[in-house]
Amino acid sequence: MFRRSNSLIVLLILMWGNCSYAQSELIFHVPDFPPYTFEKDNKIQGIGIELVDRILKEAGFQYSLKLVPNYGIAVQDVKTGSSDGFFLASQNAERDKIAVFSNLGVINRWCWFLPAISTLNPKDAIFKTKARVGTFLNTHTHKWLMENGYSVTGSPKIDSLLEMLRISRINVIFLDEAVFLESISKAGEKPESYKKVVQSETHFGIYISKDYLSKNPGVMEKISAAIKKTAPHEN
């Protein structure tokens, strides 16, 4: 009887340990990237936070958030193991090496924004040699510009980019559409003050580290199922 009791206790301890391990809290480091993720009134918020919160609640996961200055730091924190993932993010090969992408169904439009009076055209062959481009440092847009041979002057803040455009330090901004439109609205400017040229459309998603997923099997399946129930199919 004593041996059976001991065996039962050991079994219960193992079951409890496995259960709590499977419920390991997800730690996300998210970039300062309004209107998707930003801090206001000492609270991290934004449309990206609202979307992912619904998904993770549906999946039954606890999580915590920390705001970091940019995507480069968010990616580095996953590499070093200080966070388990980040969002909202578009997919690329560098990120795929360390984490698994889950498509949220939200479209991310990369656009060129120029003053309405500008004669530059992103579709012209000479644009790449003529344009002085501004974007957020260490973002996917920044990497794409550098890989494709554009002259890039980056900035960590949208306010800085807008000011650089006003004083002609740059003559075009390359950013996510929603980010730019939200920023000029806050600045009291109107969209018709700018020309917009869409470069591409990709999908936003959640990245969760491969290390976390290897220790917490089944997590991505639960998140994918929750996305199907809660996330929009398109934006």
Residue 142 falls inside a structural domain: yes
Full domain range(s) for residue 47:
2-102+206-230
Domain count, the chain: 2
Considering the entire predicted model, what is its pTM? 0.77
Quick one: 96 and 211 in the same domain? yes
Cβ-in-10-Å burial (0-12, 13-18, 19+) of 162 comes to buried
* Percent of the chain topping pLDDT 70: 88
pLDDT higher than 60, residue 13: no
Which positions ≥6 away from 130 have C-beta within 8 Å? 120
Is residue 18 very low, low, confident or very high in pLDDT (cuts 50, 70, 90)? very low
Cβ atoms within 10 Å of 56's Cβ, excluding its own: 19
**125 is written with which tokens?**
């062959």
Q: pLDDT (tens digit, 9 = 90+) per residue, 75-92?
A: 999 999 999 999 999 999
Q: Considering only residues 223 and 235, tell me which one the structure prediction assigns the higher pLDDT.
A: 223
Residue 235 falls inside a structural domain: no
pLDDT higher than 50, residue 235: no
Q: Which of 62-71, 104-113, 168-177, 226-235 has the lowest mean pLDDT?
A: 226-235
